[in-house]
Structure 1
Amino acid sequence: MTSNQFTTLIHEQTLELEAYAIKFTNDLDDAKDLLQDTILKAIRFYGKFEEGTNLKGWLYIIMKNTFINNYRKNIKTQSIVTQEDEISYANLMTSATKNGSETSFVLGDIKGALAKLPIHLSIPFVRYVEGYKYNEIAEQLNIPLGTVKTRIHEARKQLARMLKMYKQRMN
């Protein structure tokens, strides 16, 4: 079998592979990334595929192993980062500013602006900034996904109004 024939066979499995990837990731964008990684690995190692065996099963195993390896890598990275310095909305600007006193003013203004937000907007926004995905926030707060997106969008608009002085300084 030529590599072009092999590639064609793999692309025939794309829809089923994408559905399988979504089961792993619970996120369409992450699933597409996983699918792409799987296809690239399959094409790269097509010489190891034994013709006449189950191609779909081989691809599923590649996808499962890729997902597990990526998951382990992300866990290690997160543990290294969080051991060094806990990352939260309260210290997001620390590494982005040059002056310690400027940092305290900026963080004070951000904290003040967040405190002025209604609680139904601030909680989803803070969780989003801390790295939670929309669907995770919706589950945690037991509210619909669309409501989470709307509240985060509204919080951004209100914060942009309250902190517009920083936007003007950057322009």
Structure 2
Amino acid sequence: MNNVKFTSEIYAHSDHLMSHALKFTRDEDDAKDLLQETLIKGLRFAHSFDQGTNLRGWLYVIMRNTYINDYRKDTKRKAFVTVEEEITNGQLAISATKNAGESTFALEDINKAMASIKDEYRIPFKKYFEGYKYDEIAAELNLPIGTVKTHIHQARQGLKKYLKMYRS
């Protein structure tokens, strides 16, 4: 099938796909974006479409997968920005860099907060904060993974309590 014919067949299914896009997004503008992205991917991957199969179904699968992938990306981005329960490097950096004077006090407070935590909690927390995984920390400190998770949780709770004045 040539590109012109394939494009016209894809376009013939756009109204049906638009109704699915509206069900997914519940917003007309987002649905139009999703439909456009689906049609573009359909054209881009036309070579992988098997002649004689259901074109509408194939496009629907592309739309569904595109929506799911976008939803996951958006959820991860929002979770990174809005989680208040976890004290992370990004959140500490935001609260600690308002200006140079506040930054100095904030860093002093963070250091005091870290010093106030028991070594058994602070050491696993620092490792976790540096990017180590739970199982790596457990192996290095010769502790059960559940204990490592508990110690990191206790350190977070202590830091949240000590640094509550920086909550926005």
TM-score by length of 2: 0.50
